[in-house]
Amino acid sequence: MARVFSGIQPSGVPTLGNYLGAIRNWVALQDAHDCLFCVVDLHAITVWQDPSGLRQATREMAASVMACGIDPARHILFHQSAVPAHAELAWIFNCVARLGWLNRMTQFKDKSGKDREAASAGLYVYPNLMAADILAYHATLVPVGDDQRQHIELANDIAQKFNHDYGREFFPLIEAAIPVTSARVMSLRDGTRKMSKSDPSDQSRINLTDDTDSIVQKIRKAKTDPAPLPETLAELEARPEARNLVGIYAALTEATPEDVLRRFAGQGFGQFKPALAECVAETLRPIRAETLRLMADTTALDAGLRAGAARAAAIAEPILRETQALVGLLPAR
Ligand code: AMP
Ligand code: TRP
């Protein structure tokens, strides 16, 4: 059975993009796989995080994914920094990955922006840590949004080079599980940028903890155009904001964008937006309530994460020891 691993950064409250692009697929994979889900706090600090904000966001992320349906009893939910094998394996991968590979990473280019010299070294080697997250468990199936495709390819390049250099088929090939309809949910303010929990404008995203009033208000104010919805998807190509809202509706109702257009063609956003807002609010209402309930007891939440980390470490440690031996590092014990 393929082992599943996925991670999410505690760099804010998870968004509808995180839910449709990633978390919802994590939930679905639980039935037929052994899964590890990780709140990647070490990835989050590649850009500045206020320490108390980081603690809060780590708990909130864990509570949110449980509220979405992740079962920490049957599977493993933990925070990355609690399992040292991630950072230790990442160092070895820093020595396997080539600068030329990292220089091609578009997420680094986006996140470092114009002042690349001022970006942290951690942001640059971020994909090596991500490869270590996955490969420390010999996981082979990784549910992520479309923006992570390039990082998964890099992880495979690292695994292949490691296997080649050390002469053993040790790390397996990783497959990304990317959803078809909701791989990339875009900002409500700009249909060409992805919806992100780190966007300075709260109006650009739906947070999983938004109440019905703010959902309705954000969707009412979402950027659109005056034309009614067309009959074919091709006609939406030059209308990224409209395309995005149709995509969200399709993903939430588990329909195709074509189905949505069949239903709403000819109608304006005055009709479509309230229908969409209702759909979003319906989906998020129970998630929000359960997140708030779990957040009320941080002692239990922290204990649960630590217990998850102990189970994760029991899988990762032997794999790390074997990696170290292959590299030629003397055993520590
Ligand atoms: P991050 O928020 O960058 O930690 O991403 C966590 C997971 O959510 C990853 O699998 C991403 O690919 C996915 N994700 C993040 N933002 C979006 C988005 N706007 N649309 C679809 N998937 C997303
Ligand atoms: N880089 C991912 C993101 O920003 C988060 C992540 C870190 C991840 N490690 C991972 C996702 C391992 C999948 C597997 O979205």
Closest approach atom of ligand 2 to CA 5: 14
pLDDT tier, 45 (very low <50, low <70, confident <90, very high otherwise): very high
pTM over 0.85: yes
CATH code for the structural domain at 3-183+297-327: 3.40.50.620
Q: For the residues 288-300, what does the mean pLDDT come to?
A: 97
pLDDT digits over 104-154, tens only? 999 999 999 889 999 999 999 999 999 999 999 999 999 999 999 999 999
pLDDT, residue 182, reads: 72
Residue 7 CB less than 6 A away from ligand 2: yes
Secondary structure (DSSP) of 130-173: HHHHHHTTT--EEE--GGGHHHHHHHHHHHHHHHHHHTS--SPP
332 has a pLDDT exceeding 90: no
Residue 194 CB less than 6 A away from ligand 1: yes
Summary mean pLDDT of the chain: 96
Residue 134 one-letter amino acid: I
pLDDT, residue 231, reads: 96
> Mutation test of ligand 1: which of 5, 6, 16, 18 has the most ligand atoms closer than 8 Å to its C-beta?
18
Q: For the residues 37-49, what does the mean pLDDT come to?
A: 97
Residue located nearest, by CA, to atom 8 of ligand 1: 18
pLDDT tier, 94 (very low <50, low <70, confident <90, very high otherwise): very high
For residues 124 and 171, the answer to whether their CB atoms sit within 8 Å is: no
> How many Cα atoms occupy the beta-carbon half-sphere of 127 within 13 Å?
29
CA distance 119 to 137: 29
pLDDT digits over 164-183, tens only? 999 999 999 999 999 887 77
Residue 308 one-letter amino acid: G
pLDDT, residue 39, reads: 98
pLDDT digits over 230-285, tens only? 999 999 999 999 999 999 999 999 999 999 999 999 999 999 999 999 999 999 99
Q: For the residues 33-56, what does the mean pLDDT come to?
A: 97
pLDDT, residue 210, reads: 97
pLDDT, residue 333, reads: 78
Can you give the residue ranges of every domain in the chain?
A: 3-183+297-327, 202-293
Percent of the chain with pLDDT over 90: 95
Residue located nearest, by CA, to atom 6 of ligand 2: 7
- Which ligand number lies closest to the CA of residue 20? 1
> In which order are the strands placed within the sheet that holds 76-79?
76-79, 34-39, 3-8, 141-143, 175-177
Distances (CA, A) of 152 to 4, 113, 128: 13, 22, 10
Active site residues: 111, 194, 197
Percent of the chain with pLDDT over 70: 100
13 has a pLDDT exceeding 90: no
Q: Measured in angstroms, how far is the CA atom of residue 110 from the centroid of ligand 1?
A: 14
For residues 195 and 15, the answer to whether their CB atoms sit within 8 Å is: yes
pLDDT, residue 198, reads: 87
Residue 5 CB less than 6 A away from ligand 2: yes
Q: Measured in angstroms, how far is the CA atom of residue 292 from the centroid of ligand 2?
A: 25
Domain 202-293 listed as CATH 1.10.240.10: yes
Q: Which residue bears the tokens 């578009």?
A: 106
Q: Measured in angstroms, how far is the CA atom of residue 331 from the centroid of ligand 1?
A: 38
Secondary structure (DSSP) of 220-269: HHS---SSPP-SSGGGGTT-HHHHHHHHHHHHHHT--HHHHHHHHTT--H
